[in-house]
């Protein structure tokens, strides 16, 4: 791992940190289908839409100073260059009480392995006195969030009986940043997995 940089202060006040999210995005066609379904759910149950991002699978989140971004990008790119693209299968709906409905991922193993490979990033941000990187264990694609109690129960009963089965290939990861805990959410960088890089040569 590289030595500590000038962008690594000894102590980092929380108000100086930005929130980062590393995600895998669905293919354009599948994302559009999921988005239409999300909008239908909110319309059906009379709830204002809460999703501001395109359908995605969150892999890891962390907090860091924006001055650390160049180094973070280098580390994440190195990890992605060693990872082959892989297929994700979405298989029906489930929910997180008390307010979220999501699409289940049939086999999360490739996503968990990718998360483990990001350990070098955790070493870096920890050395900069930032909170540890958090890997998302229950990986999924959120379809509705912040549903009121009764609405969540009705929607969960409905969607748990629906069938949804689609596959898409994860070829890239996207690093997102939210500053001071509030929108807008900015795309920091897109990282292509190994096989995708080869195909572009």
Gap between the Cα atoms of 65 and 5, Å rounded? 12
Q: Which residues contact 112 (CB under 8 A, 6 or more apart)?
A: 135, 137, 139
Average pLDDT of the residues in 23-39: 91
Cross-strand pairs, 60: 22, 135
Gap between the Cα atoms of 39 and 194, Å rounded? 34
Q: Residue 96: pLDDT band by 50, 70, 90 thresholds?
A: very high
Q: What is the pLDDT of residues 111-154, one digit of tens each?
A: 999 999 998 899 999 999 999 999 999 999 999 988 998 999 99
Q: What is the pLDDT of residues 45-59, one digit of tens each?
A: 888 766 778 899 999
Q: How high is the pLDDT of residue 196?
A: 46
Mean pLDDT of the chain: 87
Q: What is the pLDDT of residues 97-115, one digit of tens each?
A: 999 999 999 999 999 999 9
Gap between the Cα atoms of 120 and 101, Å rounded? 32
> Could you give the domains of the chain?
17-200 (3.90.1140.10)
Q: For the chain, give me the number of helices (H) and strands (E)?
A: 6, 9
Q: How high is the pLDDT of residue 12?
A: 52
């Amino acid at each position: 791992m590289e030595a500590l940089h000038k962008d690594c202060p000894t102590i980092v006040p929380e108000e100086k940190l930005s929130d980062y999210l590393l995600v895998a995005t669905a293919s354009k066609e599948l994302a559009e289908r999921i988005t239409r379904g999300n909008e239908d759910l909110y319309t059906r149950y009379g709830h204002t839409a809460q999703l501001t991002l395109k359908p995605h699978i969150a892999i890891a989140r962390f907090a860091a100073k924006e001055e650390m971004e160049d180094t973070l990008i280098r580390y994440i790119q190195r990890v992605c260059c060693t990872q082959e693209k892989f297929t994700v299968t979405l298989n029906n709906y489930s929910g997180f009480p008390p307010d979220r409905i999501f699409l289940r991922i049939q086999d999360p193993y490739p996503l968990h392995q990718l998360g483990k490979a990001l350990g070098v990033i955790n070493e870096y941000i920890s050395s900069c006195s930032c909170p540890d990187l958090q890997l998302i264990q229950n990986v999924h694609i959120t379809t509705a969030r912040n549903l009121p109690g009764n609405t969540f129960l009705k929607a969960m009963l409905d969607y748990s009986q629906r069938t949804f089965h689609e596959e898409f290939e994860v070829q890239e990861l996207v690093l997102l940043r939210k500053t001071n805990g509030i929108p807008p959410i900015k795309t920091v960088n897109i990282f292509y997995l190994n096989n995708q890089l080869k195909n572009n040569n």
